[in-house]
C-alpha cells in the first residue's frame, strides 16, 4: 500500500500540474515554453525510489505526459522517460544529487537528453512531424525552465515520504 502511494501520490501531483499547465500557459501565450514536471519527477524518482518503483513511476509519468501532449505518437514520452530514468539511476549511483543546485544541473542535462531523444523518435516514427527545428530551438529554454522543478519535486517527494512514514508509525502504535 505504501509503495503504491509512493508511486501514485507524485503522479497525482504531476497530473494536477499538467492539467493546469496547459490552460495557464495558453492564457499567458507562452505555450511553447512549458516546463516538464514529468521529467523532474523521473529525476527525483531515480534518486529516491527503489529501481523497480522508479521505473514504474517513470513509465506512468510518461504515459500521463503522452496523454496531455497529444499530436505525438503514444509511447514517445514513456520511452523518453524510461531512458532518462535509466540515465539518472546510473548517475545517482555515482553522484548524490540531492543538493538543489546539483539537482537542477542534472535535470537540465536530462532535459537536453529528452529533447535529443524526442528528436530521434519523432524522426524515426512520426511520419507527419516536420518541425524539427522547433525542438532544437526550444531545447535549451525548456531545459532552463524545467531545471528549477527538480528541487521543487524533490521537496514534494520528501513531504509525501514524511506523511507516509508518519502514517506508518501511527499504524504501528
Is 127 a residue that touches other proteins (CB under 8 A)?
yes
Q: Which of 2, 4, 20, 158 binds other proteins (CB under 8 A)?
A: 20
Rounding to the nearest 10 degrees, give the CA dihedral for residues 121, 92, 47, 67: 0
Stretch that binds other proteins, among 18-26, 37-45, 150-158, 165-173 (CB under 8 A): 18-26
Beta carbons of 64 and 15 less than 8 angstroms apart: yes
Stretch that binds other proteins, among 38-46, 73-81, 90-98, 146-154 (CB under 8 A): 73-81
What would the grid cell of residue 65 be?
505526459
In whole angstroms, give the CA distance from residue 126 to residue 144.
26
Stretch that binds other proteins, among 20-28, 111-119, 146-154, 160-168 (CB under 8 A): 20-28
Is 130 a residue that touches other proteins (CB under 8 A)?
no
Min separation Cβ 116 and other proteins, Å: 16
Q: Which residue has the cell 505518437?
A: 73
Residue 29 dihedral angles phi and psi, to the nearest 5°:
55, 40
Residue 32 is classified by DSSP as: T
Is 71 a residue that touches other proteins (CB under 8 A)?
no
Is 83 a residue that touches other proteins (CB under 8 A)?
yes
First to last CA, the chain: 18
Beta carbons of 128 and 80 less than 8 angstroms apart: no
Is 105 a residue that touches other proteins (CB under 8 A)?
no
In whole angstroms, give the CA distance from residue 108 to residue 62.
18
Is 9 a residue that touches other proteins (CB under 8 A)?
no
Residues with Cβ within 8 Å of 24's Cβ and at least 6 positions away in sequence, in order, are: none
Q: Which is nearer to other proteins, 5 or 86 (CB)?
A: 86
Q: Which of 2, 3, 4, 19 binds other proteins (CB under 8 A)?
A: 19
Residues that bind other proteins (CB under 8 A): 15-16, 18-20, 22-24, 27, 51-52, 55, 59, 62-64, 66-68, 73-76, 78-79, 82-83, 86, 121, 124-128
Amino acid at each position: 500500500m505504501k509503495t503504491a502511494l509512493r508511486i501514485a501520490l507524485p503522479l497525482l501531483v504531476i497530473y494536477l500540474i499538467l492539467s493546469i499547465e496547459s490552460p495557464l500557459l495558453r492564457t499567458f501565450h507562452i505555450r511553447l515554453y512549458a516546463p516538464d514536471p514529468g521529467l523532474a519527477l523521473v529525476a527525483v524518482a531515480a534518486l529516491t525510489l527503489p529501481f523497480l518503483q522508479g521505473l514504474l513511476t517513470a513509465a506512468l509519468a510518461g504515459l500521463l505526459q503522452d496523454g496531455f501532449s497529444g499530436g505525438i505518437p503514444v509511447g514517445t514520452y514513456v520511452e523518453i522517460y524510461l531512458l532518462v530514468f535509466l540515465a539518472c539511476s546510473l548517475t545517482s549511483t555515482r553522484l548524490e544529487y540531492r543538493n538543489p543546485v546539483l539537482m537542477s544541473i542534472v535535470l537540465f542535462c536530462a532535459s537536453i537528453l529528452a529533447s535529443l531523444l524526442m528528436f530521434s523518435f519523432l524522426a524515426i516514427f512520426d511520419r507527419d512531424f516536420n518541425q524539427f527545428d522547433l525542438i532544437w530551438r526550444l531545447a535549451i529554454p525548456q531545459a532552463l525552465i524545467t531545471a528549477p522543478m527538480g528541487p521543487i519535486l524533490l521537496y514534494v517527494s520528501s513531504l509525501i515520504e514524511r506523511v507516509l512514514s508518519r502514517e506508518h508509525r501511527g499504524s504501528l502504535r
